[in-house]
Amino acid sequence: MMTLSKSVSHIGAKNPSHFANGTAPTLIELRAHPKSIEIQQYLSNKLTAKRYRHVLSVQEMAVDLARCHKADVWKASLAALLHDCAKWMDAQQLYRTAARYDIELHPVEQVTPALLHAIVGVKLAVEKFAVTDLEVLEAIRNHTTGSASMGVMSQVLYVADFAESTRTHKAVHVVRKLAYTHLEEAVHYVARAKIEHLLQKETMIHPNTLHTYNSTLVDN
């Protein structure tokens, strides 16, 4: 524990992306940062054990992907920890919270409460945990539906949420294989799998998911 605390003290309190010597912190060191501990305590109290395990697994893959694609590991860790921070709310709570923040919902979101946790999660990240980084907030916002204009951080979280180690989706092995070498192609396969799943359920598809599929199809 002494070694861990000592290591963490060298990580910047605001954005611990690198140590003083320029090396990126490990997953253990990222999780031991005070901000991470604050979020983890909140999540462990609010989420089911299964959901919390999912969050930690997403964090692990997101950090790996960020490192692989030369993205900011702290931002990836933070976005992953917070992506389901509103998942404990039921449909009524989500809609009430969206109304309280005057969030304008898309017609698909108005009838699909499962999509709201990403939108409300952005507000919780800002208000409860003082997160202001746009890359992190956009990644949280986009992690369910995707977006045609996703940057690397959003792509990392979008893929990690789908393909983390506890997932058993039909396309998960393909996505895991692509994620470390062809991130945008992995994004395409995630969008495709989501669309196929929603078609089987005969439920509405958010246009952002279709835009994600179309925008990545061009290069695949």
Q: What are the tens digits of pLDDT across the range 76-103?
A: 999 999 999 999 999 999 999 999 999 9
Q: Which of 180, 81, 174 is nearest to 136 (CA)?
A: 81
Token look-up 């746009």 returns 134
212, 185 Cβ separation under 8 angstroms: no
What pLDDT, on the 0 to 100 scale, is given for residue 11?
40
pLDDT tens by residue, 113-132: 999 999 999 999 999 999 99
Task: Show the domain range for 56.
Answer: 2-89+97-217
Rounded-to-integer distance, Cα 171 and Cα 13, Å:
38
- Low-confidence stretches of the chain (pLDDT beneath 70): 1-22, 218-220
What pLDDT, on the 0 to 100 scale, is given for residue 16?
64
Say how many domains are in the chain.
Answer: 1
Cβ partners under 8 Å of residue 190, min gap 6: 146, 158, 159, 162, 163, 171, 175, 212
Enter the pTM of the model: 0.90
Q: What is the domain-level CATH number for residue 70?
A: 1.10.3210.10
Could you tell me where the DSSP H helices lie in 32-182? 34-46, 49-68, 73-82, 91-100, 107-110, 116-129, 134-142, 152-163, 172-179
Rounded-to-integer distance, Cα 66 and Cα 64, Å:
5
Cβ partners under 8 Å of residue 196, min gap 6: none
What pLDDT, on the 0 to 100 scale, is given for residue 92?
97
Tokens for 212, please give them: 């994600």
213, 188 Cβ separation under 8 angstroms: yes
